[in-house]
Amino acid sequence: MKLVIRNGRVVDAKNKIDKKADILIENGKIVKIGESSQFRPGDVTRSTMTINATGKVVTPGLIDMHTHLREPGREDEETIASGTRAAAQGGFTSICCMPNTQPVVDSVSGVKFILATASQEGVVNVYPIGSITKGQKGEELAEIGKMRIAGIVAISDDGKPVMNTQTMRRALEYAKMFNLPVISHCEDLNLSVGGVMNEGFTSTILGLKGIPRQAEEIMVARDIALAELTGGKLHLAHITTRRSVELICQAKKKRIRVTCETAPHYFSLSEEDVQGYNTNTKTNPPLRTKDDIKALCEGLADGTIDCIASDHAPHLDVEKDLEYNMAPFGIIGLETMLSLILTNLVRKKILSLNQAIAKLTVNPANILGLEKGSLSIGADADLTIIDLNLERKIGNEFTSQSKNSPFIGMELKGFPVATIVAGKVVMKDGKLV
């Protein structure tokens, strides 16, 4: 089975490629990249499937290291089948799923369930993240080593930060043996209690309880200190504030092993968007201020922020169509992430296309230790084809089972038009195959 992608602008941050080329794929692997003239007569035959990528960008398959697929337990919100299709629709070929399912993925059986279901029903690669502690309770360590052997790529208690500093220390120390990143959702729960949006002028006039930025920053500082203490591999999830960026920048200068991500809503929206009480803006950590957006953009540009992840968090309309206080935190992101990056970062020249693609490919792959994220010869043929000039208004039709998006109605420019996983086309011309 052969596939050739012709005449696209090939952007591969790892191999520092940015040129017009054809890519030949055979048996799920990349076998050749070059100009048409470099191809030999036998390379492309009549039976070779061809995708014309003229005027398009061809990149390594995109990686989203922070999603919630809700299965097992909340299959009404999302399943591995629907979530991976939403990923394919959004140009992602590999996604990581957080363990806050019901039951929590805190043991080998949970990991095996995710992997087995993904291989049967999924359309993109799924890498499970195991919990740090049993039941995400923040007390006893989960069987991290056994889960590692079963296939997890990181550990995290995600929405439930490990408040006990000693437990977090042990986790970083223990996971270090397996070179497994510990992903931390930074939130001091005592400080954030009852809050539903960023604390500040907007929360005051809306009469909503605020979450101070310090709830995040204190834990960023704590976890960096613990990474320094243990030599563990720390990855900070969804960073949102200026000081968080500064703390991480300093830590990196000191060569502490810390990496981080932010999510598109944090650089695309601010707390002011909460006005009107649209519950699709309710997310944790909350949308911050315009100054934080500026700091995130600076951190993205200078490399302090390593990657961008969606924190795709599906919730049903019936759960979200409530009073702001009662609606759950979280917004979906797989299908809008790339367009938001292209519209709000690349088009505004905050990131070059190369930098943006690195944050969606080679960088998350390096953090997670995945053999993904490049177009090296012999690599898995995971690719994404992007039309930088395609403009569209985000409607309320999503492949995800949920549609809790604050971006509905927004005009974006630059969309994925094809997603290829191990040489198999799973999305083409913007439609799932």
Partner 1 sequence: MRLKHKDLLGLEYLDREEINLILETARPFKELFTRSVKKVPPLRGKTVVLLFYEPSTRTRISFELAAKRLSADVLNISASTSSVAKGESLIDTAKTLEAMKADFVVIRHSMAGAPQILARTIKASIINAGDGTHEHPTQGLLDMFTIWEKKGRLSGLKVAIVGDLLHSRVARSNIWGLNKMGAKVYVVGPATLIPPKIEEMGVKVYYDLDEVIGELDVINILRIQMERQKENLFPSLREYNEIFGITDERLKRAKKDLLVMHPGPMNRGIEISSSVADSPRSVITEQVTNGIAVRMAVLYLLAGGDSQGVKR
Among 28-36, 37-45, 248-256, 315-323, the segment contacting partner 1 (CB under 8 A) = 315-323
Per-residue x/- marks for partner 1, 324-363, CB under 8 A? xxx-------------------------------------
In the set 64, 188, 311, 380, the catalytic residue is 311
Cα separation, 331 vs 397, in Å, equals 15
Among 64-72, 91-99, 100-108, 322-330, the segment contacting partner 1 (CB under 8 A) = 322-330
Nearer to partner 1, 201 or 302 (CB): 201
Among 49-57, 98-106, 243-251, 314-322, the segment contacting partner 1 (CB under 8 A) = 314-322
Contacts of 232 (CB under 8 A, 6+ apart): 171, 172, 173, 175, 176, 182, 226, 257
Cα separation, 318 vs 320, in Å, equals 6
Q: Is 189 in the site for partner 1 (CB under 8 A)?
A: no
Of 205, 253, 378, 396, the one binding partner 1 (CB under 8 A) is 205
Query: Which uninterrupted H or E stretch holds 85?
Result: helix 80-89
Cα separation, 331 vs 405, in Å, equals 6
How many residues of this chain bind partner 1 (CB under 8 A)? 21
Tell whether omega for the bond before 72 is within 30 degrees of 0, i.e. cis. yes
- Our answer to whether residue 158 is catalytic in this structure is no
The neighbouring-strand residues paired with 383 are 60, 420
Of 149, 322, 377, 433, the one binding partner 1 (CB under 8 A) is 322
Q: Are strands 258-262 and 234-236 parallel, antiparallel or unpaired?
A: parallel
Among 25-33, 48-56, 149-157, 208-216, the segment contacting partner 1 (CB under 8 A) = 208-216
Q: Is 396 in the site for partner 1 (CB under 8 A)?
A: no
15-18: long-range contacts (C-beta < 8 A, 24 or more apart)? 15/374, 15/375, 15/376, 17/375, 18/353, 18/354
Of 102, 323, 396, 397, the one binding partner 1 (CB under 8 A) is 323
Nearer to partner 1, 211 or 258 (CB): 211
CB atoms within 10 A of CB 196: 23
Q: Is 207 in the site for partner 1 (CB under 8 A)?
A: yes
Cα separation, 186 vs 180, in Å, equals 18
Per-residue x/- marks for partner 1, 271-290, CB under 8 A? -----xx-------------
At 83, which amino acid appears?
A: G
Q: Is 210 in the site for partner 1 (CB under 8 A)?
A: yes
The residues assigned a catalytic role are 311
Q: Which residues bind partner 1 (CB under 8 A)?
A: 199-201, 203-210, 212, 276-277, 318, 321-326
